[in-house]
Amino acid sequence: MSQAVGKNTETENCISSGSIGSSLKQSPHPAQSHEAKLLNGSLASHQQQQQQQQQPRTNGLTHAAASSAAASSGFGSAVSGSGSSGISPAAAMAGILSGAGASTALPLPHNSNGLQSPYEPYRADDSSYVPVGQFFAGRSVFITGGTGFMGKVLVEKLLRSCPDIRNIYLLIRPKRGQEVSTRLTELLNAPLFESLRREKPKELSKVIPISGDITSEELGISEKDQNLLCRNVSIVFHSAATVKFDEKLKLSVTINMLGTKRLVELCHRMLSLDALIHVSTAYCNCDRTDVNEVIYAPPYNPDDIISLINWLPEDILDQLTPRLIGKRPNTYTFTKALAEHMLLKEAGNLPVAIVRPSIVTASLNEPFAGWVDNFNGPTGLVSALAKGMFRTMMCEKNYVADMVPVDIVINLMIAAAWRTATHKSNNLLIYNCCTGQRNPLIWSEFVKYAMCSVRKHPLEGCLWYPTGELRMNRPMNTLNCIVKHFLPAYIVDGVARLMGKKPFVVNVQNKIAKAVECLEYFATRQWRFKDDNVHALLHTLSPKDREIFVFDVRHIHWDKYVERYVLGFREFLFKQRPESLPDSRKRMVRLYYLHQLTKLVAVLLTWRFLMSRSKRLNDMWSAFLDNALKMARLIPFL
């Protein structure tokens, strides 16, 4: 959900642990001292028993924040069932449900700009510079989430811009009785890969499916395939995640946290791993207004949350979820924040970097402008606006709408992998991939551009003329939802029933309302995502690599981008060809006049109703008309 700054909504510096109960609070003990060291940047190997000596890994957190995090890191051994606390799981659960504990907040780290490896700008005379495309030559890459929105673009970009890449292994889950090979064939036959199929068909044979499941032990990968990956893979992109905002906590933890942990365990076995790129989200720290490129202390110990979902019944866990996530709006941002801390703790000496995109939207340029394959985020709402079914929303119009095109994110991920592999560092670097600092777009501008574009390039079968307004008055917004969304929906569905057709508009409006509810948190708040690492990385690339792997958001022209965005979902989501635009525009003109006529009739009926109910108003209106007629008679003599 991009940016120009109005009033800032200040949030707390960190998440409160909530009134979870006294059993959630821990006094410091040796295990927590180790946790404090982890937060301060010192990492032992993920196999602690090996006692391997490594260089400390830093992430920008101060010791004070780390110690505070350790002191209030969640359930501790009470949840995990260790004997040090002497509290049974039943007692811990009773404390959680009682909600008796005092909330604690973690302090904002001092000087939390991150401990970065030095970025030296590109020099033409640097003979050691390895172009990004050349760096991937002969290498094999492993991708999780490769069948998702971002994963598809990543695969296509690697094949097209890194032609000498050896293999791309995709983790694919068998689905609805389909084998992974069948799913891969469907993936590569998508419109996204059309240019590759036409110009470089042999490149597609480099994509190899790996049967697995991110929710299973060892990622559901067979021992044979695990050995294959460990021998051959040198770059890993981890983008698999559940992005549903209303996902159950158990499944969200399983995918976003346990999936990450299992992948890291596999990466530790890889013989020649040079880079692991973890895709997080800029909103994982949405409990604070200013978000630097560091890992912040989490509200709970991730291992304790994992233990909790393993022994708590799911219905009790659902009741407990609001208390656990605290001031975060959903389980997605909550588990993504914990996954980052888990990665810091488990990575050991692995070469790791984290990319945090904001709201990922349709492509800017690659493989072609406007490509999108889902209705998530703003796409669904703009689509509903284009259909004439969405007219009002709670949103602060002067706040930044931090959107970033998907190809910008992918290019940054590839460049981050190149940098991580070619410049070894003890710092776990984070890249906030956002637009708000360098090229802000505010919500009112986004809606203006979208409104203009959906009228200029209307959808076939548009139900009404697209209009809409952003509001911060909740009662007024609710009234408009009833009058403009649900009342027409019930009328249309009633007519459909009388005609013997299946009603659907009310159901669609319910889905829109649910989507709006999920996005409202992000549309009524504003964040400042610092992107210094991204800006510094950009200047380490050669001019040619900057042209090939574009992630400089300053080059985005938002009005043109939104227009291509609308054309993109028209073609790729609604499957409507450009040839249908002339007829759709004629229909839009008719809808415009019908919309204006409806407003005029509504005003006249309202006025007539008021006149019939008030004699005084009727007399005032008659006097006004008499005076107007008298003035009209004098006009010829003026």
**pLDDT per position as a tens digit, 102-111:** 333 333 333 3
Q: Which residues contact 48 (CB under 8 A, 6 or more apart)?
A: none
Can you give the pLDDT at residue 629?
81
16-30, 301-315, 346-360: lowest mean pLDDT where? 16-30
Cα of 375 vs its chain's centroid, Å: 13
Can you give the pLDDT at residue 54?
41
Q: Which residues contact 299 (CB under 8 A, 6 or more apart)?
A: 14, 15, 16, 17, 72, 73, 74, 106, 326, 337
**pLDDT per position as a tens digit, 10-23:** 333 333 333 333 33
With a cut of 90, say whether residue 608 has pLDDT above it.
no
Q: Specify the pTM.
A: 0.82
User: Which of 438, 436, 417, 289 shows the shortest CA–CA distance to 351?
Assistant: 417
Can you give the pLDDT at residue 396?
95
**What is the DSSP track for 130-159?**
--HHHHTBT-EEEEESTTSHHHHHHHHHHH
With contact defined as beta carbons under 8 Å apart, do 264 and 305 qualify?
Answer: no
With a cut of 80, say whether residue 64 has pLDDT above it.
no
**pLDDT per position as a tens digit, 225-279:** 999 999 999 999 999 998 888 789 999 999 999 999 999 999 999 999 999 999 9
Name the band, by pLDDT with cuts 50, 70 and 90, for residue 556.
very high
Can you give the pLDDT at residue 57?
53
With a cut of 50, say whether residue 85 has pLDDT above it.
no
124-128, 328-332, 467-471, 532-536: lowest mean pLDDT where? 124-128
Name the band, by pLDDT with cuts 50, 70 and 90, for residue 606.
confident
With a cut of 80, say whether residue 97 has pLDDT above it.
no
Strands (E), 81-121: none
> In terms of pLDDT, which residue wins out, 123 or 62?
123
Q: List the domain boundaries for the chain.
A: 581-633
Encoded tokens for 569: 């979902």
Encoded tokens for 622: 């008659």
With a cut of 70, say whether residue 589 has pLDDT above it.
yes
Three-class SS state of 276 = strand
What does the pLDDT average to over 327-344? 93
Q: What gap in Å lies between CA 410 and CA 160, rounded to an integer?
A: 13
Name the band, by pLDDT with cuts 50, 70 and 90, for residue 78.
very low
